[in-house]
Structure 1
Amino acid sequence: MRVAVSAALLTSAIVCSSFAFADELLQEGITPATDASQVPAAAKLRKDTVIAGISEPQGIFNPYFFVNGWDENVTNVIFARLIDWDSHGKLVPGLAESWQVSDDGKTWTIKLRPDLTFSDGSPLSAEDVAFTLTVLYDPKYDGDTDITLAHIAGGDAYKQGKADSVSGLKVIDPLTLQVTTTQPGATTLQKIGGPVLSKAYYGRGYQRGELDYLRTLHGKPLGNGPYIYDKYIPGQEIRFHANAHYYRGKPPTPRFIYRVTNPSTNFQLFQTGDTDYDAFTSRPDDIEQLKLLGFANINLYGSSDYSKVEFNLKRPALQDVRVRQALIYGLDRQKLVSVVYQGYGSVAVEPIAPISWAYNTQGVNPYSFDPAQAKKLLDEAGWKVGADGIRVKDGKRLELSLLVSKKVLNDALIPIAKENYRQIGVLLKPQVVDFNALMSQRKAGNYDLASFSTSTLNDPHDGVWDFYSTEAAVQGYHNAEVDRLINEGNATSDIEKRKPIYHQLYQVLANDPPVILLANRKILSASSARVTGFRPDIYNGLTGSLPDVNIVK
């Protein structure tokens, strides 16, 4: 039985134990199961279904409208991308068979595979791709995909109502789309190469500025991916069946289910065979428990994301950069990483992961834990220690709310941050909510600090885009130099030219921080020996290999 241990106890106990595991750290890659005969009986009874764990889906199953990363995991099952990533982050053909770009980097010609269809058997053509990209320029579109980064010619005119179509989108024939942009861009291809929506289904009666009909279909998705959506039971599971029209062939496993799990239940459900795949916290205890099961194929690989605590700069106290810097100096992030990851993580210094070509900490302030420096900065900012130890300025105490969702990282963050901040004269008031409520409160601006992680970062641009003035409007962050460098870094696809731009950008962000960078981590997952084909990687998660997953007979 798995015993829950409070983060407060872990703080003192696990930091020490982590060093004992230093010589026994699991190597990256797949560690195969040692005894497949230990597969639980409950799992063996499932002859045609594979079950994977998922946390807190919201039910918006459209790849361009979800606001929850778990919903993205669902849409990745239902929708195929025009252009995919391989396990090294390189763009490779998906629904698109090939593509070409003009010498000036401004015109892309995309060729679709022949005989593509949606899951209902209707044809998928270049018209559907053009429709999808047009929707992203709609003035009422409010999803997370910022197509303006692709700089498609005529996109702004369409959005502003000055044109009836996007002039840069030209359907040459049913299999060919030409996309003309106003400037070259490093992320243009990934922006225009996303999932494809059916014009016949999602665009029925579509007119610019009217997306209500499309929104009614969030719970009735029509895709073209490996599986077809069947049913969502909130708080329990999401069901799918294999797509016979999938362009790579019908997946060998007839049925797939996402079962809702959480850190307190996922190991037990995997142990009893109620799930065949799930993710776990990368730390020695979790790895050892999985090894002891015998039937677990253990996957360990570096992530491309990072965790963070965001500042709400609309709060007067946080508008002072000295206060923000003090809150970074005053948080023992190394202790947090040691408690949570125990050798399988590191303190984040830049808004990118160590696996990225853009990663380079030289010249960037690492903000090593320094309570004395934190106190000095708060003194300089005019926050004086009050009688009860909490700082006061202009009659107001330095009290800050912290929004967190329920997960292992935050279980440790709360006691560490409360203690650290109390020592420098800051009263922290944590508020634990579910992830969807966290994102809702953040959007409404009802927070001082908010803890969450980025999604997978396929390009260094993805790691900094949230700090661009228009994107950071919710948190109130604006830095003209940051905006300039973000644009400059995205204006060329030449990595050697981009590297120094991002290195400079990371220094600017360190001096004027929009967030407290917390951790880079390794990702731990496990699959049951009763199934084969799971090869999760940084860029595709489990869904990239899902079409190849099979049940061992």
Structure 2
Amino acid sequence: MTNDSQTSDTPSSPTKKVATDITPPRPEKIARKAPEVQKRDDKRELKAKAKEERMRLKSERSAARGKKNAEKSRAKQDKKIAQQEEKTQITKVFPSKTHWKYFPVMLRTWERRTLFAAGFLVAIGLVLAVIGAGRTYLTALPQNGGDYVEGVLGQPETVNPILLAKDADRDLAQLMYSGLMRYDSNQELQPDLAESYEVSEDGKNYTFTLRQDALWHDGEQVTADDIVFTVQLMKDPEVKSPRQADFQSVAVEKLDDFTVKFTLTKDAFVPFLRENTTFGILPKHIWQDVTPAQIPLADENLQVIGSGPFLFKQFRRDTTTELITSYELERNKDFYGQVPYLDTFTFKYYSNSEKLLSDFEKGRIDGIHTLSPAQRAALPENKLDNWNIMDLELPSYFALFFNQTKNEALKELEVRQALGASLDRQRIVDEALNGAARVTNAPILPSFLGFNPEVAGLEHDDAHAAELLDGAGWTLNEGNSFRTKDDQTLTIEVVMPDHDPFPRIAGILTEEWEALGIEVNIVALDSALLRTERIRPRNYQTLLFGQSVAHDPDPYPFWHSTLREDPGLNLTSYKNPTVDDLLETARKEANEDERVRKYVHFQNELAEDLPAIFLYIPTYTYALDTDVKGVDMNAVTFPSDRLADANFWYRNVKWRPAPQEESEEATEASTESDVVTESEATEERTTDEPTEEVAADEETSEESTSIEEEQTEPSPNEES
């Protein structure tokens, strides 16, 4: 059969006749494949089955992992839910941060105040507990380092142990020089340069063996030659040492390089060991080329070479006034005793107390050399806790010394008695000294051998004073303010230092004497002028001044007639043969009872002659910052004695655990082993004044460029 028209899904194409085979294929030929094709198909089928198996296994593993993860997720969710439930329970007990934020708002005012006070007390208790625990289980050991600056009213002049006359000079000498013996902070005599000493049975020979580790600040060794040289200088009249009389009858000799012997050439002097062995020793190799007359003017008086615990570093001068404004010392690392803890010890000098107190309050200085009653009253109460203020009674007295050779009226006993009777000494103590003193009637003071409280004193009695003057012919005529006699007015000139408290004392005595009809002229001088122009030439009628008794009550230097002229210390030109004999025999009397009897007799003679009006015994007040530790001051004879153990003062400490049980000896030993550690020096202090600086080992001075503040009223506080 022929099919002429045939449809097709393909695009139409030009008509073409094709021959068609309509013979059916053979069955066996259709079902049968070639071997190569069959093999290929089998391989494909195997691969398909393997793939299907892998997919099945992968699906099973994935299902297993999903199940495991689901279990973990459920466990984690359960745990989170449990934690949330626990947190919810805690939140129900303790407020959240948000709740605490609004807590103060919910309280009433009194509740807030109560809660604050309770919290404050708890905090204070915790702090105190920590501090208490620290003090209980820790101990502080002094360490090297730190500086100390002390304010002084006045300035130094001659830092020479054989010429000392001012407190400012004594302070520096105390720190830079050494003696054969020394007084400690309890005023007990201790060996210093002397390693040992022997006293002969008759009390006339004193032999000292020197320690061999003592060095001068320039490295030279201290020997017996230095001791002999110093004593010979003091005895030389050209030097004019205030101690010349103390060694006039003393011979000194060198036995060997480290042994020296003193021999009293006349009589034994009982107080010799206490009074004549503590003077500072000068280095012979420094001073031997200076003539005796030039010694008071030598540069070495300020650029000191000594053997004490501190050595000279530098001093500064005001470039305008040439006054010394500061003097700096530093630790002597080669000192034979306790090496100082402090790096530097500086004295800063002031011309007026206002600037001194101002710097103390502002912390520019750490201490005040001497705090007068007026200065102490001016200290702010709110700062007293920061200062350590010590009050000690000085073994000294202040008096009105009469020079009868300069005023004819003063030669009359009745006039001197009237002056004493009209003066209210207790008022002086209460008003001029703010109670920081006590009245005295004699030059031998309480606690000293020979003190007699029954010595006749001057009772305040204006009526009796007027009777005495009337009886002496000094009458107060109508219309006159002052008493006269033979057309001569009764006039008294009083010379005194110009610093506190003397002007206030002068105000009281002027008021009381003028009320009696006595004309009073007050002459107040700077201490340097007072000494050079008035005291040394004895150019005064009445002198308001003080005298220090030293460590022994021996009044010989102040009242024996041979010491009426400079450099003697008899300020009244007093001469009484009976008194001279009593003083001469008492100082060589070994029997204390007999010595007391002589001193009582001496005081009675003095009360009858009345060469002076004894006023008061002063109280010495010293102030320093509480940060300065190791200050142990129980007694002083001179204000400079406060520095007797300054090498033990410290500012730096190291803390260590305190042992539960420790003997005093073990504690001291451990302290000595620990104090040698060096610590860094504290910040260097600066000065406000324009200064000229003189340093150790320098020949020329170096000027500072800072600005001078106040230098107007020099007024050193001192005693004769």
Note the C-alpha offset of 1:240: 1.6
Q: Is the 8 A contact 1:336 1:416 kept in 2?
A: yes
The separation in 1 between residues aligned to 2:187 and 2:651, in whole angstroms, is 28
Q: Is the 8 A contact 2:494 2:542 kept in 1?
A: yes
The separation in 2 between residues aligned to 1:115 and 1:506, in whole angstroms, is 46
Match of 1:246 among 335, 339, 348: 335
After TM superposition, the score normalised by the length of structure 1 is 0.82
Q: Is the 8 A contact 1:253 1:551 kept in 2?
A: yes
Partner of 1:550: 650
Note the C-alpha offset of 1:232: 4.9
Partner of 2:301: 218
| Residues 149 and 493 (structure 1), Cα distance of their counterparts in 2 relative to 1, 3 Å cut | farther
Partner of 1:64: 162
Partner of 1:478: 575
The separation in 1 between residues aligned to 2:411 and 2:155, in whole angstroms, is 34
Match of 2:395 among 304, 320, 333: 304
Note the C-alpha offset of 1:369: 1.0
Name the amino acid aligned to 1:185. F
- Where do 1:34-433 residues align within 5 Å? 48-148=146-246, 151-152=249-250, 168-182=251-265, 183-189=267-273, 190-204=275-289, 210-212=292-294, 215-216=297-298, 217-229=300-312, 230-233=314-317, 234=323, 236-261=325-350, 262-278=352-368, 279-282=370-373, 286=377, 289=380, 292-315=383-406, 316-362=408-454, 364-386=455-477, 387-433=479-525
- Deviation larger for 344-353 or 47-56: 47-56
- Deviation larger for 341-350 or 124-133: 341-350
Q: Is the 8 A contact 1:344 1:521 kept in 2?
A: yes
Name the amino acid aligned to 1:312. N
- Deviation larger for 497-506 or 100-109: 497-506
SS in 2 for 1:294: helix
Task: Give unmatched runs, 5+ long, in structure 2.
Answer: 1-144, 318-322, 566-570, 654-720
Q: Is the 8 A contact 2:236 2:244 kept in 1?
A: no
Q: Does 1:516 align with 2:628?
A: no
Residue by residue over 1:470-490, the C-alpha shift from the partner in whole angstroms, topping out at 9 and shown as x without a partner, is 222364321222211221221
SS in 2 for 1:385: coil
| Residues 274 and 481 (structure 1), Cα distance of their counterparts in 2 relative to 1, 3 Å cut | farther
The separation in 2 between residues aligned to 1:286 and 1:358, in whole angstroms, is 35
After TM superposition, the score normalised by the length of structure 2 is 0.64
Name the amino acid aligned to 1:271. E
- Deviation larger for 171-180 or 236-245: 236-245
Q: Is the 8 A contact 2:341 2:648 kept in 1?
A: yes
The separation in 2 between residues aligned to 1:281 and 1:495, in whole angstroms, is 36
The separation in 2 between residues aligned to 1:124 and 1:415, in whole angstroms, is 51
| Residues 139 and 288 (structure 1), Cα distance of their counterparts in 2 relative to 1, 3 Å cut | closer
SS in 1 for 2:564: helix
The separation in 2 between residues aligned to 1:508 and 1:120, in whole angstroms, is 52
The separation in 1 between residues aligned to 2:207 and 2:382, in whole angstroms, is 49
Name the amino acid aligned to 1:401. E
Q: Is the 8 A contact 2:513 2:519 kept in 1?
A: yes
Note the C-alpha offset of 1:543: 1.4
| Residues 263 and 483 (structure 1), Cα distance of their counterparts in 2 relative to 1, 3 Å cut | farther
| Residues 58 and 140 (structure 1), Cα distance of their counterparts in 2 relative to 1, 3 Å cut | same
The separation in 2 between residues aligned to 1:102 and 1:195, in whole angstroms, is 24
The separation in 2 between residues aligned to 1:371 and 1:464, in whole angstroms, is 33
Q: Is the 8 A contact 2:315 2:328 kept in 1?
A: yes
Report how many residues are paired.
487
Partner of 1:506: 603
Residue by residue over 1:392-433, the C-alpha shift from the partner in whole angstroms, topping out at 9 and shown as x without a partner, is 123221112212223332132121111110122111111222
The structure that has the greater radius of gyration is: 2
The separation in 2 between residues aligned to 1:180 and 1:290, in whole angstroms, is 55
Q: Does 1:469 align with 2:566?
A: no
SS in 2 for 1:252: coil
Name the amino acid aligned to 2:411. Q
Q: Is the 8 A contact 2:476 2:482 kept in 1?
A: yes
The separation in 1 between residues aligned to 2:353 and 2:382, in whole angstroms, is 18
| Residues 475 and 345 (structure 1), Cα distance of their counterparts in 2 relative to 1, 3 Å cut | closer
Note the C-alpha offset of 1:110: 0.9
The separation in 1 between residues aligned to 2:624 and 2:156, in whole angstroms, is 25
Partner of 2:641: 541
Residue by residue over 1:363-413, the C-alpha shift from the partner in whole angstroms, topping out at 9 and shown as x without a partner, is x11102112222222223332224423111232211122122233321321
Note the C-alpha offset of 1:499: 1.6
Name the amino acid aligned to 1:245. D
The separation in 1 between residues aligned to 2:278 and 2:248, in whole angstroms, is 10
The separation in 2 between residues aligned to 1:366 and 1:214, in whole angstroms, is 41
Q: Does 1:437 align with 2:529?
A: yes
SS in 1 for 2:619: strand
- Deviation larger for 115-124 or 49-58: 49-58
Task: Give unmatched runs, 5+ long, in structure 1.
Answer: 1-46, 153-167
Flag the structure with higher helix content. Answer: 2
Match of 1:488 among 585, 589, 593: 585
Q: Is the 8 A contact 1:391 1:398 kept in 2?
A: yes
SS in 2 for 1:532: coil
Question: Aligned-pair RMSD on alpha carbons?
Answer: 2.4
